[in-house]
Amino acid sequence: MRTHARTVTASLLGLALFFGVPACSKKEPPEKAGAPEAPISAGYESAITKAIFRPAGTAPAVYGPGDLYNLLVTGDETNNAFFQFEAVVPKGGGPPAHVHRNEDESFYVVSGRLEILLGTSLHEAKAGDFVFIPRGTVHRFKNVGSETAVQLVTFVPAGMEKFFKEVFPPVKDRTATPPPVTDELIRRMNQAASKYGIEFPVVRGEEK
C-alpha cells in the first residue's frame, strides 16, 4: 500500500514538472510596469509643426544692412524653436556690432570670407567655419574679401525674423545689388531694437 502511494505521488510530481507547474509554490506578485519611456526625439518632433521642402530661390527675402537675407524657416514653421536664414553678403556688407538679449546665434560660412567680431576678438571665417554666439555677446560679421560671401545664420529660439520683417525692405529682384545703408534704415533699426532685445553698443574701432 505504501509502495503504491509513493508511486502515485512520484507520478503526480512528474506531471507537474512536465507541464511547468511547481508542485508547491506561492504565486509571485506581478511586477509593476514602469512609465513608458518617451522617444529621445519627442521634444524635437513636437516642436516642428510640419515637414518643409523649400527649393532654392523661393524663400521670402529681405535686404539687411548691405546684404540680402533669405528667410529659410521661421518661428511660425518651427513652433518658435528656431529661425534660420541665408545671408548673402557682398563685399563690404554686414550689420554693425550688436547684442541679442533673448537668443543664441550661430554662423556657418558656406562660401567667401567674413571678418567676425566676437566680444573683443576678431576672427577671419572662411568656408566650412562655424561660429556660436551666446546671447549677450557683442558681435558682427563683415565681408572683407573681394567675392560675395554666403553663410547660414540660426537663432534659438525664433523671434528675430519679426524684427527683420518689420525693419528691412522686402527683396523684389534677387539679382539686383543690395541697396546701400541709409539713415532711414538706421533709424528704423534703432527704433525697433529694444522691442526685440537688440542693442547697438559703441565698440572701439567699430564706430564707422
pTM of the model: 0.76
pLDDT of residue 4: 45
Inter-residue contact 64 to 86 (CB < 8 Å): no
What's the grid cell of residue 67?
Answer: 546684404
Q: What is the pLDDT along the chain (208 residues), one digit of tens a residue?
A: 444 444 444 444 444 444 444 444 445 555 544 444 434 444 444 556 689 999 999 999 999 999 999 999 999 999 999 999 999 999 999 999 999 999 999 999 999 999 999 999 999 999 999 999 999 999 999 999 999 999 999 999 999 999 999 999 999 999 898 999 999 999 999 999 999 999 999 887 676 5
Instruction: Specify the CATH superfamily of domain 59-186.
Output: Jelly Rolls (2.60.120.10)
- Is the preceding omega at residue 157 within 30 degrees of 0, hence cis? yes
What's the grid cell of residue 154?
Answer: 540660426
Inter-residue contact 66 to 148 (CB < 8 Å): no
In one-letter notation, the amino acid at residue 196 is Y
Residue found under cell 509593476: 32
Inter-residue contact 97 to 203 (CB < 8 Å): yes
Q: How far is CA 119 from its chain centroid?
A: 22
Dihedral sign for Cα atoms in the order 44, 45, 47, 48 = positive
Cross-strand pairs, 86: 70, 152
Q: Is 162 helix (H, G, I), strand (E, B) or coil?
A: helix
Close Cβ partners of 142 (under 8 Å, ≥ 6 residues apart): 89, 92, 93, 94, 114, 115, 117
pLDDT of residue 46: 52
pLDDT of residue 207: 60
What's the grid cell of residue 3?
Answer: 509502495
Question: CA-CA distance, 105 to 139, in Å (whole number)?
Answer: 10
Question: CA-CA distance, 196 to 165, in Å (whole number)?
Answer: 12
pLDDT of residue 19: 43
Question: CA-CA distance, 140 to 205, in Å (whole number)?
Answer: 13
Question: CA-CA distance, 53 to 63, in Å (whole number)?
Answer: 23
pLDDT of residue 203: 80
Question: CA-CA distance, 159 to 161, in Å (whole number)?
Answer: 5
